[in-house]
Structure 1
Amino acid sequence: MVLGRASDKDRIIATLPCTEPNIMQEHIRILPIFGFPGSGKTTLAQMVVNDTHSLQGYDFRVWVHVSTQLDFHTIGKSIICQVLGRGQEEINQSSSNVEGMEIIMKRLHKLLNGQKVLLVLDDLWEEDPIQLQLLKSMLTFLGDKMDVIVTTCNQAIARKICTVEPYRLNPLSDETCWEIIKKSIRFEVGEELEKIGRKIASKCWGVPSIAREYAGTLDSSRDAMKWDETMRRGIVSYVLSTFTLSYMRMPPDLRLCFAYYCQIFPSGDSIVKDDLVHHWIALHLIEPSEILSAEQIAEEHITWLQNMSFLQTAELDHACNTS
């Protein structure tokens, strides 16, 4: 059972034209879901695709995992495999190894002509605007009866690939994180452990995978002192294990800034942007380059963290806070 995402699923499904049979679709719809790494974007997309009752209007539901390498041939052949109900190896045997993209596109266009298709492109990392435009053109060519859900950690990617407003997947509440932890533990939690457990839940950044990671550690002991030790150790190791791919794509100095930020500022805290920049520079986590000042580099780092949903602009005051 997935906790805390039912309303998100309902909102996504409500935007799909197949749930509104009286509306004629004239253009392909590309709806990105973006949010914090580990926040459950893939799980949410799976919940949508698996809701067969709501999605009866689709002839085909297709799932393609993209990840770091955007390969148009792989995407095209994967769609063909799933539509024909045949394996990738069988498709490869029936087509040339040097089969051009033009031939693949013709096969796809013939297969999908007049068909209502829901396509999920999961875990898109490609940032090159030219490649993203090519992907958009490829999807548009396949027909206006296709709806596409794209999951990505990067808001900038979501904005470049979308044809409708992207859907931000917000972090879970502390209460939901505690429910995940509690349901994952194989013994009944008493009052003392619950008090500590709720504090731990507040350190999960609203990320279900971090809550489950904590639960795996807490499940090994009923000792309140060990639970307290787990709480006080901090979350950097959990965060970095969950966000490995995002972390490895960071420039080296941004990795240091990110680790410092995770250690010092709890999830949900408001941070004055200028204060954060001054902290980074004072600790020599950022050094000026030949082209950019330390402040300019810090601004780039903050923009990157905002695009990845690690930071969000607060709607509070005139101090340019982030949180």
Structure 2
Amino acid sequence: MFNAKMISKIKAVTDRLNSLNTRRSSLGLNVIMSQGANSKGNKPRLQPTSLMDGAVEYVGRASEKQEMLELLKSNNSDGVCVLSIVGMGGMGKTTLAQLVYNDPSIKESFDHKSWVCVSDDFDAVNITKTILRSLDADSRDENDLNLLQVKLKEKLSGKRYLLVLDDIWNESYSDWTILRAPFGAGTKIIVTTRLEKVSSNVDSMKAFYLDKLSHHDCLSIFAQLSLKARSFDGHPQFKEIGENIVRRCNGLPLAAKAIGSLLRTVTDHSEWEKVYESEIWDLLEDPCGLIPALR
């Protein structure tokens, strides 16, 4: 009796799954891989690196950059000095960190520097290994956190060191203290995060809360990506519709960059109008923080 009932239930579940699969195919829906890439076409999102696009003029964060540089180059801390950059997704936290990290004066002020994109996988072993490899490409690929941290502490002894930990989500204070253990006087750390609690956990000397960019700055970003120009002066036919699209980006630099990139090869004015009139703009931000402009 039990087997007969289970067979009936399994058949019902199988029929339901087959029905859903058929509907998925008919609607043209694709499988989205949440972790890694298992097959061609299912690629994970590339993480930002420390390098910047030399063809783009970065605008809108000059005052924050200058203040961060002054704090990083000052000798006002006997221990680890942490600066955090806090803001919602698309506000330009990583870009500001890149601007500071690549400033010529940083090279003069520090003996070594490292960049690690942490994201949602806060693994102290992997983060420490990445830092060590940036300091010594021939370092052994250890998996023992104690050995890694002892070696890292020896490498940094007496050195001026800058570390960027980009995109931290982990809210555990104990995890942070473990990761921070090898660092001492002479180490400055920049943390970027969306979460105010993370900024509090890392004991920031100062937190930089990023606000939206001005319409003028967003327009400059949009023009550079969409028209490969600093402004719309040479493209008056797109000026009005371009300004309207940028207003919908609502001061978010990543939105201006994303939509500008989308229109980079589009020379048909009606296609620009379709972007501006799209109903996607009116959708609410999803639970994962994806804003309509990026969608």
- Give the TM-score normalised by structure 2: 0.69
**By how many angstroms is 1:239 displaced?**
8.9
Q: Structure 1 residues 81, 226: CA separation in 2 closer, same or farther (over 3 Å shift)? A: closer
Greater mean deviation of Cα atoms: 140-149 or 62-71: 140-149
CA contact (8 A) 1:133 1:161 kept: no
- Aligned mates of 1:134, 1:223 — CA distance in 2: 52
Work out which of the residue numbers 210, 215, 233 in structure 1 matches 2:260.
215
- Aligned mates of 2:216, 2:249 — CA distance in 1: 11
- Aligned mates of 1:155, 1:198 — CA distance in 2: 32
Work out which of the residue numbers 5, 9, 27 in structure 1 matches 2:65.
9
> Paired residue for 1:91?
140
- Aligned mates of 2:140, 2:190 — CA distance in 1: 25
- Aligned mates of 2:235, 2:76 — CA distance in 1: 56
- Aligned mates of 1:74, 1:172 — CA distance in 2: 35
Q: Structure 1 residues 60, 197: CA separation in 2 closer, same or farther (over 3 Å shift)? A: same
SS at 1:76 equivalent: helix
1:204 aligns with 2:249: yes
Q: Structure 1 residues 226, 24: CA separation in 2 closer, same or farther (over 3 Å shift)? A: closer
> Paired residue for 2:124?
72
- What is the RMSD computed on CA atoms of the aligned residues? 2.8
Q: Give the number of aligned pairs.
A: 233
Work out which of the residue numbers 240, 257, 272 in structure 2 matches 1:227.
272
Q: Which residue type is aligned with residue 274 of structure 2?
A: E
> Paired residue for 1:104?
148
Q: Which residue type is aligned with residue 80 of structure 2?
A: I
1:133 aligns with 2:185: no
CA contact (8 A) 2:248 2:281 kept: no
**By how many angstroms is 1:78 displaced?**
1.4
**By how many angstroms is 1:154 displaced?**
1.5
**By how many angstroms is 1:114 displaced?**
1.2
Aligned pairs for 1:1-323 (under 5 A) are: 1-16=57-72, 19-20=73-74, 23=75, 25-84=77-136, 86=137, 91-92=140-141, 95=142, 97=143, 99=144, 101-127=145-171, 129=172, 132-186=173-227, 190-236=235-281, 247=286, 249=288
- Aligned mates of 2:196, 2:108 — CA distance in 1: 30
SS at 1:81 equivalent: helix
Q: Deviations over 1:103-149 (max 9, x none)?
A: 2221111111111111111111112x3xx333135425421221110
For structure 1, the residue ranges without an aligned partner over 5 or more in a row are 241-246, 251-257, 264-323
Q: Deviating runs (4+, > 6 A) in structure 1?
A: 237-240
**By how many angstroms is 1:234 displaced?**
4.7
Q: Max radius of gyration: which structure?
A: 2
Q: Structure 1 residues 54, 63: CA separation in 2 closer, same or farther (over 3 Å shift)? A: closer
Q: Structure 1 residues 110, 38: CA separation in 2 closer, same or farther (over 3 Å shift)? A: same
For structure 2, the residue ranges without an aligned partner over 5 or more in a row are 1-56
> Paired residue for 2:33?
none
- Aligned mates of 1:2, 1:33 — CA distance in 2: 17
SS at 1:91 equivalent: coil
- Aligned mates of 2:250, 2:213 — CA distance in 1: 8
Tell me the percent identity: 27
- Aligned mates of 2:198, 2:252 — CA distance in 1: 21
- Aligned mates of 2:118, 2:205 — CA distance in 1: 21
Q: Structure 1 residues 218, 80: CA separation in 2 closer, same or farther (over 3 Å shift)? A: closer
- Aligned mates of 1:239, 1:206 — CA distance in 2: 17
- Aligned mates of 1:12, 1:166 — CA distance in 2: 10
**By how many angstroms is 1:165 displaced?**
2.4
CA contact (8 A) 1:76 1:104 kept: yes
CA contact (8 A) 2:226 2:262 kept: no
Q: Structure 1 residues 235, 167: CA separation in 2 closer, same or farther (over 3 Å shift)? A: farther
Greater mean deviation of Cα atoms: 207-216 or 194-203: 207-216
Q: Deviations over 1:30-77 (max 9, x none)?
A: 111111212221121111111132441211111111110110111111
**By how many angstroms is 1:236 displaced?**
4.0
- Aligned mates of 1:118, 1:51 — CA distance in 2: 12
- Aligned mates of 1:113, 1:224 — CA distance in 2: 59
